[in-house]
Amino acid sequence: MFPIGVCLLLAWPAGAQTSASESPAASSSAAAISLSRRFVATGMTTVENMELAAAADQVARKLEQSVGKNLPFSRESIVGISIRRDEKQAHGRVVKAQGWVDRRLEQKLIITNLEQVDQEDVLEGLCWLLLNRYVMILQSSDARRAKPGAVPDWISVGMAQNLFLSLRARNSEAVVKLWEQQQGLSFAEVVDLEYLPEGRWSEKAFSALAVDWLASQATTPSFWDQVFQRRADRLALSPEWAASNVLRAVSVRDVEKGWDLWLAHQTEIKREWGTVTDVQIEALRSLFVVRPNQLGVAPGADAPAWMTMGDLLLHRGKPWFDPMVARLELKVRSQGLAQAGEYKTVVDLYAEYLSELTRYPSKSFWYRVFHRRPGDRQLQSQLAEADKALLRLEASVRERDLYMDGAEKTFAAHVEPLVAAQIGMDMEKAITRSSLQKYVDEVEQQMK
């Protein structure tokens, strides 16, 4: 289970919002500074602002762990998070801004209409501001005042989407699905995503996997050190750069091959670890209510209407028993075909139990000596072992589901229904090229 702070992701306070009539003075009087003195939150009640600032602190700590070094902060330079209400605006919006004012760096995250904002947009915006600090510390004083350094959106989005396991699992599943449908992005297409608009897009899921891949490949200097230095020098993070500096590949073509192998590896992870579901377990359990009339036993036979797996022991030797159990064994074994290893292991235990039920010694003396007919106690022990294995598998699946879904479920239980409804959104829709170009044009216009 996640700690409650992690479960809230960036986690603004549940249902928090500002009144349309709330004055700027009222908002500023409720400002709260985080314990690390790196974040100040305004626009809500004092308690809500404190919770938001604390959540931002937690994200900063997780980001520092991922990068491997402390964030550059000074007492005069903190990140401001401002919650605003705009009745004229139909949707929520997250704006990230940074610049130098009176020789001091100012960074702001402005969240308008909080209850309509996707919490992942807030997380991504905050990560962009924080990662930029690593870039600016490497710039000369004149360079950062002329234009503060910044990472491309695919880097900040990739970092944000990798901070929490629930997001990593969802993104991996979305990417694998698209890749298997031959709708994936090449590595060159991912690193070309300088700007990404708000919302949950498949490009963001691919960005997350690209960052994870590059960070896992680089050794010395680290991937993050190379990223920050290159952006401080105002250079692009190109496939050629990744080939020669991060991946030590011969060519860009080799980089694309490595990227495809990485995506293929995610497919194998999904098959080996993520394919056992409650539905499969329920399908297996449904076979344990044995109905002879559904397994070829004639209506007039001396057979009960239904039996449990344990009840089968009571009917060994009856004329209809062996053919019925053979059919049941076939049904059980078919459940394990092309399934995850841990699921197939449980299926095989039940199948072996059924196989032993119908095993009889031959007329050979030595076969009877070394292959006695299994007794009831031995068969009961086999069935008990299979039952224990199934219970362990069920517990493992439940624990996995709670672990991977805990963040989003907890968040959905604490926020407004509109925000909670967004939790189930997938990451499989792609940004249309026209929409992306329009967004890029707007960003570049603002930066002039």
For residue 29, name the pLDDT band (cuts at 50, 70, 90).
low
| Residue boundaries of the structural domains of the chain | 1-149, 278-411
pLDDT higher than 80, residue 25? no
Average pLDDT of the chain is 79
b (16+ CB within 10 A) / e for 416-441: eeebbebbeeebbeebeeeebeebbe
Distance CA 344, CA 355 (A): 16
pLDDT higher than 50, residue 68? yes
Confidence (pLDDT) at 307: 92
Residue 253's SS3 state is helix
Mention every residue, 6+ apart, whose C-beta is less than 8 A from residue 168. Answer: 161, 162, 208, 212
What average pLDDT does this structure show over 136-164?
Answer: 92
Phi, psi at 200, each rounded to 5°: -100, 110
Q: Report strand pairing: 79-84 vs 32-33.
A: unpaired
Contact between 167 and 411 under an 8 Å Cβ cutoff? The reply is no
pLDDT higher than 80, residue 273? no
Distance CA 130, CA 90 (A): 29
Distance CA 404, CA 420 (A): 17
Distance CA 377, CA 332 (A): 22
For residue 19, name the pLDDT band (cuts at 50, 70, 90).
very low
For residue 164, name the pLDDT band (cuts at 50, 70, 90).
confident
For residue 363, the tally of other CB atoms under 10 A from its CB is: 6
Distance CA 209, CA 184 (A): 12
Least confident among 77-91, 270-284, 432-446: 432-446
Using CB atoms within 10 Å of the CB of residue 101, give its burial: 0 to 12 exposed, 13 to 18 middle, 19+ buried: exposed
Note the pLDDT tens digit of each residue in 288-324: 999 998 888 888 888 899 999 999 988 888 889 988 9
Output 285 or 368, whichever has higher pLDDT: 285
For residue 414, name the pLDDT band (cuts at 50, 70, 90).
very low
Confidence (pLDDT) at 429: 62
Confidence (pLDDT) at 412: 42
**In the 8-state DSSP scheme, what is residue 31?**
-
The alpha carbon of 402 is separated from its chain's Cα centroid by a whole number of angstroms, namely: 12
pLDDT higher than 50, residue 418? no
Contact between 96 and 128 under an 8 Å Cβ cutoff? The reply is yes
Farthest-apart Cα atoms in the chain, separation: 100
Confidence (pLDDT) at 174: 86
Output 391 or 414, whichever has higher pLDDT: 391
pTM: 0.60
Confidence (pLDDT) at 14: 34
Note the pLDDT tens digit of each residue in 316-332: 888 899 889 988 988 89
